[in-house]
Amino acid sequence: MVDQQLHEVIGFPIGNEYDVTVRLMSPSDIPELQKMSLIRGQKTVFWYGAITLVAEFEHRIVGFTQYYISVDMILHSDTIRIAPDMKGKGIGGMLTEVKEAIAIKVGARVHMHMVSHNGEIALKKILTKMGFHLCQRHGPTEFWVKSFNEGDL
Ligand SMILES: CC(C)(COP(=O)(O)OP(=O)(O)OC[C@H]1O[C@@H](n2cnc3c(N)ncnc32)[C@H](O)[C@@H]1OP(=O)(O)O)[C@@H](O)C(=O)NCCC(=O)NCCS
């Protein structure tokens, strides 16, 4: 589910069978996020460079994703990470859905997702299921893109 604040913004429930709550990051989450990041010693300021959503389960952060919406109304996603013991429970999919629901409310028309070429198959499964296609590949980075259709807006 999403917390009360996000529920008010999105206007409809999003959740899965696990009691996981998605909410906006607060600064006190940063030490826990730093431990979870794939980049060792990730600087504190990194967490202020984009909007960060966190997934919480039993008072522990079990996942996060970062995104921003540019002036041309493109939702840009880069990092997404789920704690190793919580993978495969639909949390990555849920974070992606919440991010899109917020972006659609803001007026976004396109979702662009950077993916590492040899990144996890689970992420590509999420993106394929949500209607993305692989748009371009630059070295080790793939750009996956999706347009929101009239029904989404
Ligand atoms: C990639 C990642 C974000 C996916 O999140 P997740 O919560 O584990 O994914 P979900 O549970 O929502 O599963 C998504 C789909 O992948 C499938 N899946 C999950 N684990 C899988 C695995 N090991 N192999 C193949 N498919 C897998 C699920 O069954 C699901 O497909 P379905 O909807 O058809 O059943 C997460 O695994 C992760 O943090 N990986 C490490 C960091 C990373 O690679 N990030 C991406 C680059 S920035």
The residue extents of the domains of the chain are: 4-152
- Our CA dihedral for 114, 119, 120, 123, rounded to 10 degrees, sits at 10
Is the Cα dihedral 3, 129, 116, 36 positive or negative? positive
Q: How many CB atoms lie within 10 A of CB 126?
A: 21
Nearest atom of ligand 1 to the alpha carbon of 79 = 48
Nearest atom of ligand 1 to the alpha carbon of 78 = 48
Does 103 contact ligand 1 (Cβ within 6 A)? no
CATH number of 4-152: 3.40.630.30
Q: What is the pTM of this model?
A: 0.93
63 neighbors 16 (Cβ within 8 angstroms)? no
- Output the residue whose Cα is nearest ligand 1's atom 27: 122
98 neighbors 2 (Cβ within 8 angstroms)? yes
The yes-or-no verdict on residue 32 having pLDDT over 90 is: yes
pLDDT one-digit tens code per residue, 100-153? 999 999 999 999 999 988 778 999 999 999 999 999 999 999 999 999 987 777
